[in-house]
């Protein structure tokens, strides 16, 4: 692998993990465009770990509060959403659906665009008077939506934030809940990638091992930037621009 390809993958992962555009879909798209081998286990480990650290640093104050006081409604709701997501993701893995559904990722991009457009229209007409607390019903819906977002092209952040806003939650709380919910999911993805590695010596793709730590640092910084940008997207209702972008990307993915 060439260094510039590694840096492109870092950029793609760091931005798209949190922006409402689907990281898995973009990585699949770039793998197809640049004909990159899809067995990037060690690299995926570093990228997952980097985005995990980024979201934990960004929401460190909330996480510390949850650690100090774990038995509270927010903890129960996050746990409920996570359990539902894990069940769906486990079924997806057991049924080996990726071989069948991954080839439709271009259409899934367009599906995400539709979700963002609906959210844009709803949010524009909605007037928030007070902060809407996330309900248990909403946490169940988000768990299901996040499970569906295992499909490449379906944005995890975009679909979960949208589902919360559409169910009446406040934009700020919807964003925070979505990203806190990403922590156990990213950890799960990290563990799955770790279990797949059987011979680490053959997984550096011809690059110096130090480059993987560079990749970690680059992805970490880009992820922090993406988290901040996504908060602004949600608060200022800029979903429509990403919806238009995803339609274009979806068409490209369908055609190649």
* Residue from 102, 45, 81 nearest 184 by CA: 81
Angstrom distance (rounded) from CA 245 to CA 248:
5
Q: How far is CA 129 from its chain centroid?
A: 29
Share of the chain above pLDDT 90, in %: 54
Q: Does residue 28 carry a pLDDT above 80?
A: yes
Rounded Cα–Cα distance for residues 170 and 161 (Å): 10
Q: Check: pTM over 0.75? Answer yes or no.
A: yes
pLDDT (tens digit per residue) in 207-233: 677 877 888 899 999 999 999 999 999
CB crowding 39-48: b at 16 or more within 10 Å, else e:
ebbbbbbbbb
Alpha helices in 59-196 (DSSP H): 60-68, 73-94, 98-101, 105-125, 136-148, 156-166, 171-196
* Residue (of 26, 47, 29, 14) closest to 212 by Cα position: 47
The residue with greater pLDDT, 196 or 136, is 136
Per-residue confidence band for 38, with pLDDT thresholds at 50, 70 and 90: low
Specify the pLDDT at position 127: 47
Task: Please give the Cα distance from 246 to 249 (Å, whole number).
Answer: 5
């Amino acid at each position: 692998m060439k260094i510039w390809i590694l840096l492109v993958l870092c950029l793609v992962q760091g931005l798209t993990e949190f922006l409402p555009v689907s990281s898995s879909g973009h990585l699949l798209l770039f793998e197809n465009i640049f004909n990159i081998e899809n067995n990037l286990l060690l690299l995926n480990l570093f990228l997952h770990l980097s985005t995990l650290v980024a979201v934990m640093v960004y929401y460190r104050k909330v996480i510390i509060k949850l650690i100090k006081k774990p038995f509270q409604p927010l903890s129960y709701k996050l746990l409920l959403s996570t359990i539902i997501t894990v069940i769906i993701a486990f079924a997806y893995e057991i049924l080996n659906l990726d071989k069948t559904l991954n080839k439709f990722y271009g259409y899934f991009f367009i599906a995400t665009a539709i979700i963002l457009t609906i959210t844009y229209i709803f949010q524009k007409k909605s007037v928030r008077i007070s902060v809407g607390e996330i309900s248990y019903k909403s946490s169940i819906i988000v768990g299901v939506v996040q499970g569906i977002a295992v499909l490449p092209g379906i944005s995890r952040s975009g679909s979960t934030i949208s589902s919360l806003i559409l169910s009446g939650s406040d934009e700020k709380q919807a964003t925070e809940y979505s990203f806190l919910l990403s922590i156990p999911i990213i950890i799960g993805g990290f563990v799955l990638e770790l279990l797949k590695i059987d011979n680490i010596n053959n997984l550096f793709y011809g690059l110096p091992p130090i480059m993987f730590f560079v990749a970690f640092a680059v992805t970490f910084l880009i992820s922090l930037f993406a988290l901040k940008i996504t908060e602004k997207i949600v608060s200022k209702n800029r979903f429509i621009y990403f919806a238009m972008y995803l339609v274009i990307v979806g068409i490209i993915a369908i055609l190649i």
